[in-house]
Amino acid sequence: MHEIAMGLHSCEVPYLWVARGEASNLQETCGEMGLVIPWCDQLRVLCHSSIAGFLTHCGWNSILESIYSGVPMLTFPLLIDQIPNSALIVEELKIGLKMKEEIGVENVVGRDQIACVVQRLMDGDEGIQLRERAKELQRSCRRAIDKDGSTFTNLHAFVEDLLSISKS
């Protein structure tokens, strides 16, 4: 946690960090640019216009919320499904960057690597391209869940099928 805090601190970009348990200890390390809190409504935060990136362990709900919000991700997978989820974000969807090349809990990422990847996302052409791609996916996602979108239509049809089965 200390290396992440120091890496973020050295970037000199404002950030919000949700850290359970350790929150009171991290605020001092993070300095004025970081706000450390024990909990937040993640979707509400991601939908805020000031959010330009999301550091995530790549849980599926977090990925969906980030796509819905149009926010590119910095992936930090540790185990199980997080690893292929990270590959999906970075290699297939092209809406994120890997925080580390070596996967697994035992592979510690240093503050310099963290700062480098955060800067790649926040500054320059690469970050702009990732944000543009994330916004494209956001538009597709929102079209799918609109009243006449594919998700809405398919879910409605599924419910109708279940209702017709229960009546027979």
Give the pLDDT of the chain (168 residues) as one tens digit per residue.
888 999 999 998 999 999 887 666 788 888 899 999 999 999 999 999 999 999 999 999 999 999 999 999 999 998 889 999 999 999 999 999 999 877 655 667 899 999 999 999 999 899 999 999 999 999 999 999 999 999 989 999 999 999 999 887
User: How much is the pLDDT for 141?
Assistant: 95
Q: In what order do the strands lie in the sheet with 54-56?
A: 54-56, 73-75, 96-98
Helix, strand, coil percentages for the chain (3-state, nearest 5): 55, 10, 35
Q: How many other CB atoms are found less than 10 A from the CB of residue 69? A: 20
Q: Which CATH superfamily is domain 41-167 in?
A: Glycogen Phosphorylase B; (3.40.50.2000)
What are the residue boundaries of the structural domains of the chain, listed by start?
A: 41-167
H-run or E-run covering 58: none
| Sequence-ordered list of residues with C-beta below 8 angstroms from that of 11, at least 6 positions apart, any chain | 33, 115, 118, 119, 122
In tens, the pLDDT along 70-88 reads 999 999 998 889 999 999 9
- pTM, two decimal places: 0.89
